[in-house]
Structure 1
Amino acid sequence: MGGSSVPKSAGSSLRRYNEQMLEKDISDLLSSWKQDLDDCLLIFVFAPGIVNRNSIFGCQVVRKDDPRIRHVPFPTRRPVLKEVDRVHHIIMSLQEVSEVRRQVMVRKVRVKKAPPAPAAAVATRSVEEERLNEPAIFSLVSKRDEPAIRALVHQDESAINVIEPVNRRSPLHCASLAGHARMVSFLLSLGADPTQRDGSGKVPYELCKGKEERDAFRRFWASEPDKWDYSKSQIPSMLTIEMEEQQKQKAAEKKEKEKQRKKEQERRKKEQAKQKKEEEEKNRAVQESQVKLSDRELRALAAERRLGVTSKHPEFECEMCKVKASSAPFERLGFKYCRWNSRASARI
């Protein structure tokens, strides 16, 4: 019934009373039907909610663990006699009474069927099975076992150009894709076809990952120019020994030029740093000499800067303080001084 044990209002008291009376009516009704219910093969119940289920199963006439209990497998309407007839008609039209009796009396053991394998798993399994059936030369190529490959090709020359079932690739395709330049040269020397295409329409040269594998194809073309129709192999050009020497020489020259360029940059940086340092020292010396000037001399220099007048006297070095200055010097006995105090000190 829900709620607390003590009613808190007149409305809740009335609701509880009605629920109790409803349970009593249902219990009395089911008790009067007990004989008929005991003779039933199946009992269909539609009682949504805890209160409704307690009203039906609380009187012990119908138990929850009764194997005959079934849930009405479709929605129902208002519980009136007409609706009961409709539900009964639908249920009886689904199965015959004999079939229902057989299902009640005989328990069928249901065996769970394994769920079907997903398409991806089936595809993976099929690919793995195909890989298990691929020729032995492919595993030898992946292991780079040259003696075993040579012996296998010696027994069967067609093994060098055999096709694996998954991607329709040859051993030369696999070696190019794996980036084994030495294996590429070895397979070509045994008669591997560089014009053979795989399932995606690519030749072995197109699967190369690096320069070494591509150069292996070009060197083979230079050594065997008439063995294959290299226009179908997508190899751009042959690579002779002379061409390799020229490439090495060009690479060395380029490296030397780059080295010289870096050295020149370092030299320029050092010169610029040296010039900057000299300018800073010169400016510092000028500032120090200006600090030692008298107020009158500083005002004269400031006036010259404002008027844009340059000094008529060349730069000289003071005989007393050894500081270079460009202002009008003080002279005595042929010696030049940057200020009067220096001249007076020299006189003393």
Structure 2
Amino acid sequence: MSRFHIYSLPIELLNTLTPRNLVSEPRQRTPSPPPLASTSTTTGSRACNVCNGVAFTDVEEQRAHFRSDWHRYNVKTRINGGQSVSELEFSKLVDALEDSISGSASEDSESDESDDAVDALVSKTTRKTRSHSPTHGPSHAPQTALAWFHSPPATQLGIYKAVFNSGVHPSDYLSELKSLQSGGRTWAMFMVAGGHFAGAVVRVSRGPEDDDEEEPQKKKKHKKIKPETEVLMHKTFHRYTTRRKQGGSQSVNDNAKGNAKSAGAQLRRYGEQALRDDIRNLIQDWAEEINGCERIWIRASASNRKIFMDYDGCVIEKSDGRLRTFPFPTRRPTQSELSRCLTELTRAKLSHLTEDALRAQDEAYLASLPKPKAIPTPAAPLPEKPKPVKLSKEEEVLREKWARLLEMITKGRLEPLKSFWDREGESLGGVNIPIPDWTGEKRATLLQVAAHAGHEDVTSWLLETLRADPTIDVPLAKGGEPEDNDNDSGEASDSPKPPKGNRRTAYDLARTRAVRDVFRRCAGAHQDWWDWFGAARVPSALSKEQEEERDEKKKVRRKGLKDRVKDREAKVKPTEPEPQPEPVRKVAEPTAGPRKLGGTSGASQGIVGLTPEMRAKVERERRARAAEARLNALGKQ
């Protein structure tokens, strides 16, 4: 922490300070250009040198010119380093300005309105000039809250800019700092957040009258050094306004979700009203001290800031130039936090860097700044996006029918599908019509969609009843590869997987054995319908006898597996005699009195008291039942 107090800096240090600015140093104001000589008029007592030497016939005309907006605009433009404009050019600027300005006026009220309009016009033209100037690019160096001063050879002081008066130019910070060293000053500091409030009126600088308050009878004793800052008045209090573990005040929650009707909400609303009244009453009691303060520091949210101003009889006006916000993060409003903030504001930041270190720091800082963006060259106009085609009513109805049809097939809704097809099948073009591209479907026919979805009843209905064509090829992807190469089911296919780039049909899209059997069954029953074993790529037909034979073989295979398991377990015998267990002493349970609920474990109770041979037999039966349960589970798959 620096030992230097900003209101009592040593004179020898203050005289050696110079402002230290980096890239953010503002441009030096250029001197006003000399008045341009007019070829048509001559300068004199009845001529205006600011407005390019325009001459007047009499004094009244000259006075009217000095009151005109044209003259005032030229005066302010010349002060800002610009050039005067002619009356015609000024008229064009007025026409381009959105807010029209009034003409010459003689009354005070009209003059004030005209001054505001002229200021707006000057500000607008100044922004345009700076935006086109190469020295004022779109990117500026980031501003900091501290103003730094350098004292040779290696001392730097940082002071918060908020301490200085409003509107002070950065080049005048040093003179402003020197003026702060004289006179007594007081500040008012207020904080409010989460129902907590802390306020104080503090003295930050002692005047000459404060040094003469020592009583004459205490001359023999050592003079007591007064502190540089002193708390004159302070007050803290708290109200219940915050919703616990949820954050935010009750008023913010009411504005977002409506008024809550709970008892806690009522208490929080009462707490907010009481907090507002307490703060305003306190400010009213301190009105005389606040009016004499040099700065008023307020830390409050946007909603809480209305507590201090914008009400009838408020002591602090919204436009008060003494208002400041704390230029650094603060914690919960308490008396100790106010003291910390006071120390932070009144103590100068101190560093010790040599000239070489400062130069290296500046170069590193300049290198870290983002480079200005290059002015983009006008690129070729992009081709206009095709406008969406407006569909007719008939086309919208057709697309809705296709969407419903594909949804029923994909989800396997057979009964609604039959009813829908009886009504709309002919209007859609039949079962083998290609699916339109605008549907986004990758398959070409309804049969391919049903086979890929894995619904055997829908697939059978399309093949048997509607006689869908199974020989139509599946569309290929853009790279020439077949669509839907994945096989979600874990079963092996009856037909070999086609090589990449080969043609595929609806049968190849079937993911389950049940759907493939539908194709084989239909091929065996209606061999003359299609080229099943060639163009449709069905490997073989499947009759009812073949299905029964396959099921019988499966049952025989399962029965043989069960028999082998039983024989294997029957041959299993204990290789070593199990050691005789110690006899278990039965504890006679009391017939009366409290008994233990639940009893003993069922497994241990079942083998208690059995011989080793009986125990081995029970264990073999348990294993046999477990093996049989596993076989039954395999048979159901």
State the TM-score, normalized to the length of structure 2: 0.28
Greater fraction strand: 2
Greater fraction helix: 1
Query: Which has the higher Rg, Structure 1 or Structure 2?
Result: 1
